[in-house]
A and B are shown apart, each in its own frame.
Chain A
Amino acid sequence: MSTTEKIPATAAGRGARPAPKPRRRRITDENGRRMPVWEIVLRYGLLLAVLALMIGPFLWQLSTSLKGPHEDIFSSPPTFLPSDPTFHNYERVADTIPVWDYALNSLKVAAANVVTNCVGATLAGYALARLRYRGRKAATVVFVLAMLVPVEGIIIAQFTTMRELGLNNTLIGVLLPGCVSALNVLLMRNAFLNVPYEIEEAAFVDGANVWQRFLRISLPAVKGTLAVVAIFAFMGAWDDFLWPLIVLSDPERFTLTIGLNYLHGTFANDERLVAAGTVIAVLPLIVLFACLQRYFFRGVGEGAVKG
């Protein structure tokens, strides 16, 4: 819990700094003291070095994907900018594997995962935090235990279960095991516990029933956590590899990650193709991240405490 509160605290601290000085002044640290020049140079130098290390590989992949068939991608020293940028490789990757179908499959699973996690985790979280009934404690324990089970260890049994249900090799089968994750249920429970109870009591006195209180009073109060759940549900499903690898065997039903693995295994020598495929897989998430950074960072704080 403490970590959760610290992230907003940082943001608040930033906003509340006394009298923001006009820009273009000297760089100061948070005490308003001037930072020595050598420290500024050192900091930016290190920042740029780490930046090259963290972003460089993505850019190299992008560059490779844009290089035409006659350009040497193995040159030493390497050339970073394609001499004649082309989208040819993206067309070729679509000819080689049905990459857009795979992307659509991934999108279906990810979108469904968002809906099921938001609905399921909110309902269950509300039941754990706000409603009183026999066995509530037991229900909480069930979710805590489920959260502690290492998923990598139970994939074979999950697959067997899926086959017994006749759902192996379907997108439903990819979706189901994670469609209401215990971690998300507990995150929502904590969010509901932090909503002042008095408001709901007042609504109760005014005659609101449980659904009205849930939808009109509590749900709007936990929108922030719900957004975190939604984003991580999308990212989790879009990025997942091990489970779809096990449950899907029919190449027509592959998700994008499994399709990429297949592309890599089959056409390993064509680096331009694989590069184009990875760019297609990573771009949607980078765009999503660029738009909704705040929630990604919040999710780390909240998820880490519970995970």
Chain B
Amino acid sequence: MKTRTATEAPITDASRVAAGRGDGPAPRGPARIRRQLPTSPWLFAAPGLVIVAVFILYPFLSTLNNAFTDKRTLMPGEYVGLANFSELLHDDMFWIGLRNSTLYVLVVVPALVLLPLLLAMLVQKHIPGITFFRSAFYTPVVASIVVVGLIWVWMLDERGLVNAVLEAVGAGKVGFLSDQWLLLFSAMAVTVWKGLGYYMIIYLAALANVPRELHEAAAVDGAGAVRRFLTVTVPAVRSTMVLVGALSSVAAFKVFSEVYLMAGPTGGPAGEDTTLVMLVQRVGTGLTGRVGYASAISVVVFVVTVTLMLLVLRADRKEDA
């Protein structure tokens, strides 16, 4: 143990230096390293920087720019000011997309903050076979969203397994994939189903750090399981819940594949199940794709996702204060 602490102290020291100002004089090693090979640092960083600049940052900036043009797939287009955005205000499809994506966040996020936590508590104890259960619960995370979507399309089919079971127990058939609202909620359920294992693993790591003494003390004081969950577990993993909330809300607002696969490319009956990203894909692609208008919708997606992030993080701060 002694050797460990001996090396540990300087590590933080060195990494602080390394993380410090990029070009100021350094008191230790780094400066000497620079003298030796002046060009190689950029050689190291170049592949990553080029890819990220050309295929992420440039498209991001051109999306912001295109939002103010009437550019189409094969036409350069001209600046039209805020015309795309004022058109959005009168576009029923846009409002449908915004409604569905927002609903998605409102339903999926609470489920993905709470259910994986309960699941993590279920698989937390090291009872025999628990590794198998943990892995099995993670399997939907590994599967492609296309596979998951198609599996559930078949499960929820009018003649599929769920309806066969419902019929066998005497309940009638349910049109999971034909009703506008049932379709959307089925897609949400699939999103939750696929995400459970992922967030379970995140919570599992957080639960391992909850001091056991707290649970014991609460139990001695006569707190029941529910009370201990609310007064010990939840406060202890609160920062993880915020993280999960932030991650899942941004992902939920950008939902595409589940709804696309279950409701079809046109978004269910009369397009009523279209989400915003589906609308971007539909409007912006193809030979006559309205790149400018699709970019305006994308800008709305950016603004909402950033706002969601800030809201969640802010809620965290407030609770701290």
- A positions within 8 Å CB-CB of B: 3, 6-7, 9-10, 13-14, 23, 27, 29-31, 35, 40, 43-44, 46-47, 50-51, 53-55, 57-58, 60-61, 64, 74-78, 116, 119-121, 123-124, 126-139, 142-143, 145-146, 149-161, 176-177, 179-180, 182, 185, 193-194, 196-198, 200-201, 204, 209-211, 214, 235, 238-242, 245-246, 257, 260-261, 264-265, 271, 274-275, 277-278, 281-282, 285-286, 288-290, 293, 296-297, 300-301, 304-305, 307
Contacts and interface: CB of A to CB of B under 8 A. Distances in A.
Interface of B: 7, 10-11, 14-15, 17-19, 21-23, 26, 28-34, 36-38, 40-42, 44-45, 47-49, 51-60, 62-63, 66, 73, 119, 122-123, 125-128, 133, 135-140, 142-147, 150-155, 157, 159, 161, 163-165, 167-168, 193, 196-198, 201-202, 204-206, 208-209, 212, 240, 243, 247, 250, 254, 256-257, 261, 265, 277, 280-281, 284-285, 289, 291, 294-295, 298-299, 301-302, 305
A117 to B, nearest CB: 10
A62 B257 CA distance: 22
A182 B14 CA distance: 24
Contacts of B30: 131-132
Contacts of A282: 142-144, 147
Contacts of B291: 156-157, 160
Would you call the interface of chain B mostly helix, strand, loop, or mixed? helix
Contacts of A257: 144, 146-147
Contacts of B204: 7, 10
A249 B74 CA distance: 16
Contact of B126 (A14, A131, A135, A197): A14
Contacts of A245: 281
14 contacts: A9-B205, A57-B151, A123-B44, A124-B44, A133-B23, A136-B23, A142-B57, A149-B56, A157-B62, A241-B257, A264-B153, A278-B150, A300-B201, A300-B202
B247 A133 contact: no
Given A3-B202, A78-B164, A136 B146 contact: no
Given A75-B164, A158-B55, A241-B257, 4 more contacts: A6-B205, A127-B41, A127-B42, A157-B60
A204 B29 contact: yes
A138 B14 CA distance: 20
Contacts of B18: 129-130, 132, 193, 197
A197 B29 contact: yes
A243 to B, nearest CB: 10
B146 A261 contact: yes
A182 B40 contact: no
B10 A54 contact: no
A128 B41 CA distance: 9
A161 B165 CA distance: 49
B146 A289 contact: no
A156 B133 contact: no
Contact of A51 (B59, B133, B196): B133
A180 B150 contact: no
A161 B54 contact: yes
A47 B143 contact: no
A210 to B, nearest CB: 5
A158 B280 CA distance: 13
B305 to A, nearest CB: 5
A48 to B, nearest CB: 9
A239 to B, nearest CB: 4
Contacts of B209: 6, 9
B55 A10 contact: no
Contacts of B40: 131, 210-211
Contact of A60 (B26, B53, B161, B285): B161
A161 B133 CA distance: 45
Nearest to A231: B142
Contacts of B135: 289-290, 293
Contact of A180 (B21, B41, B47, B197): B47
Given A156-B285, A198-B10, A6 B206 contact: yes
Contacts of A200: 29
B44 A127 contact: yes
